[in-house]
Amino acid sequence: MLRAEWRLSDNKINERLIYDLESKKKKVDTIQSKYIEIKSRLDWSLQTYEERLSLIKEILNIQEVNGVEFADDFWLNLFEQKVDEQTGIDSSSVKACLNQNDSLYTDSYPATTLETISTYLLNSPALKKEKRDEPKLRLYHSKEMFQRAIQEEQKRQSLLSYKEGEDKVDFSIFIRQKNFKKSKDIELTDKIIRESKTLTEYNKFLEHLKTRKVRYAICKSNAEHLVGDELKKLKLINKQLFTIKKDMLDVYISEHRPIKFKAPLKDNGSPDWNALDMMNTKVIKALLTMDYVDDINSELNIILMDLESLIGKTSLTDKQVEILDMYRLGVSIKDIAEITKTTSPNISQIINSITKKISKQYYKDYEDWYYLNISKGIYEVCSDCGCIKLKSQMKKKRKESKRFFCEECYESMINKEKSHKIS
């Protein structure tokens, strides 16, 4: 009895395999014949894209009904998923769920047929000529290659010209590639320094050098020119400050041995923008150098648009606006200093001041939103212009005074008083 049941099951398996092979062969033969038919009917002598498209519609038997185009029933049923009711075998021409024995869709005749049709349409001589005459857009991730491309384009434009007196212009765009994830640099806090005897001694010597540097800075501010040995001492102090900080970092690494990955795997995660703190000046400084991404629905693009609006509300001087524009375009602090004829530390200080102003403006906007939507705020009327603002955003001329002024009116009053004193 067991042998009979086993034999029966073997017969079922054989029937299933035979049915699968026959149906597969039938499907391949049908699709293959269609592919051969289409390929044989393609007329490569046709020049225009429109002519080739009309031929493809004729081959595929595409008909228009009430403004909607329908293909032949064969192509409509090609991707339909079917299962045989008797055997339960997937009899679809193109399977959505593949097993180990199935070939990939890219290797199938339907994919080859579609690829042949698209190649036939896109390689029309008239279309290729139009694309060749169109200006090209070139993207560069290297600044050196970008500059070289601009120089070559200028030379070519000076030598070549096109018909009707119009020159063909190719556009070159330089894309800054940046990793917006900040590296986890080791920061020696006061707590870490206190816990280590070696770092404590290093820190004492570091503070001593800082005091010596301050003395020289005071002398320089008093228009006292440092010459000879004094100038050499100042240069030596600056060099020693850098060396000691590096030594302190090396000491910490040798004592605590923190884990530092030399070759980490590629990061495929996405940033958590909910943790973004616009009141942090470091965050704003990082956002200023970021560019819009290609994805229109990206949260980063929305954040950068909000930043643009925030910068527009912030009161900046003409010099600050100029420096901010250059900084956002990717110009280095050193180059900005050369352009504006100042020093790099001064430019860094101005950029930090700009970020503080932007952060302050964000705090004001958030404060207005909070006391309008979440909690009830206390408001006052400006004694000069009559505008209504939060009491925390108003200023007094004297502590005992009951008159409140907005920031704009208060600053104008102070400037008038200063000008009156000078006159």
| 63-95 pLDDT tens trace | 877 778 877 777 777 777 777 777 777 767 777
Predicted pLDDT of residue 25: 47
Check if the beta carbon of residue 352 is closer than 8 Å to that of residue 286: no
Residues 9 and 113 in one domain: yes
Per the structure, how many domains does the chain have? 5
Residues 111 and 15 in one domain: yes
Instruction: Give the Cβ contact number of residue 328 at 10 Å.
Output: 14
Predicted pLDDT of residue 81: 77
pLDDT confidence of 356, banded at 50, 70, 90?
very high
Domain that holds residue 216: 190-256
Query: Pick the residue with more confidence: 204 or 156?
Result: 204
| pLDDT more than 90, % of the chain | 3
- Quick check: is 61 in a domain? yes
Residues 401 and 362 in one domain: no
Domain end marker among 220, 241, 256 = 256
Residues 10 and 114 in one domain: yes
Most confident of 13-17, 208-212, 292-296: 208-212
Residues 303 and 357 in one domain: yes
Position 354 pLDDT exceeds 90? yes
| 121-162 pLDDT tens trace | 888 887 777 666 666 677 776 667 777 777 777 777 766 654
Residues 23 and 103 in one domain: yes
- Quick check: is 179 in a domain? no
Position 355 pLDDT exceeds 90? yes
Residues 238 and 206 in one domain: yes
- Quick check: is 57 in a domain? yes
Most confident of 12-26, 155-169, 214-228: 214-228
Instruction: Give the Cβ contact number of residue 331 at 10 Å.
Output: 14
pLDDT confidence of 2, banded at 50, 70, 90?
very low
- State the first-to-last Cα distance of the chain, in angstroms, to the nearest integer: 122
- Quick check: is 418 in a domain? yes
Residues 24 and 95 in one domain: yes
Position 172 pLDDT exceeds 70? no
Residue 84: strand, helix, or coil: coil
Most confident of 160-164, 189-193, 263-267, 393-397: 189-193
Position 34 pLDDT exceeds 80? no
- Quick check: is 68 in a domain? yes
| pLDDT more than 70, % of the chain | 74
The Cα–Cα gap between 170 and 134 comes to 9
Position 270 pLDDT exceeds 70? no
What predicted TM-score, i.e. pTM, was given to this entire model? Answer: 0.40
Choice among 138-142, 316-320, 343-347 with the minimum mean pLDDT: 138-142
Predicted pLDDT of residue 271: 67
Choice among 163-177, 260-274, 375-389 with the minimum mean pLDDT: 163-177
Residues 154 and 206 in one domain: no
Position 351 pLDDT exceeds 80? yes
Residues 15 and 122 in one domain: yes
- Quick check: is 37 in a domain? yes
- Quick check: is 180 in a domain? no
Query: Pick the residue with more confidence: 191 or 151?
Result: 191
Residues 295 and 324 in one domain: yes
Residues 101 and 148 in one domain: no
Cα–Cα nearest to 148, from 131, 172, 124: 172
Check if the beta carbon of residue 143 is closer than 8 Å to that of residue 174: yes
Check if the beta carbon of residue 204 is closer than 8 Å to that of residue 196: no
Looking at the DSSP bridge assignments, the partners of residue 137 are 171
CB neighbours of 15 closer than 8 A, spacing ≥ 6?
87
- Name the average pLDDT for the chain: 76
- Quick check: is 268 in a domain? no
